[in-house]
Amino acid sequence: MHREDQLSSSEDLDKNRRKLTEDECLALLRRPLAGVFSTISKSGWIHSVPVHFDYVDREVRVLAEDDAVKTRNAVRTGHATLCVETTDGPMRSYVSISGPVSVRRPPTAEDLISLDKRYSRNDFSSGWDDEAFAKAVMLVLRPQRWIAWCDWD
């Protein structure tokens, strides 16, 4: 896991803030939370959308359609970022991971079942017609950069 090593003086002074440990980062990514998946559009704007995702084998997997904006941007740039945030009582935690992204076609049954289990659903792995499944892809983000903090009141 690559971490930012230098703190600015304002970060050094904030006693209600600290970096998350690697175990805390992984625990946050394994929770059944929605994430925000970001890519860069052709015009240079950041395109950010909420997504359901799975974190498996040191990869983030996001189910998408092949013609979705996030998919087109990811294919064009080969890069994406996912941010996951949660608030537990007075503590707020987030992890933001960035890295190369690839597209797997079609999504595997294993990936779809894993998404169902993660989010206590059954619609990721069932109810597909041939046309919809033909358009489905799995975006696979391999994290290279990690930013992860928590703060509290």
Could you read off the pLDDT of 105-143 as tens digits, one per residue? 999 999 999 999 999 999 888 888 888 888 999 999 999
Cα distance between residue 71 and residue 62, in whole Å: 10
Per-residue pLDDT averaged across 23-51, rounded?
Answer: 97
- Verdict on whether the full-model pTM lies above 0.85: yes
Q: How confident is the model at residue 2 (pLDDT cuts 50, 70, 90)?
A: very low
Q: Tell me if 79 sits within 8 A of 143, measured CB to CB.
A: no
Q: Tell me if 97 sits within 8 A of 82, measured CB to CB.
A: yes
Domains of the chain by start residue, with CATH:
17-152 (2.30.110.10)
Counted residue by residue, the chain has a size of 153
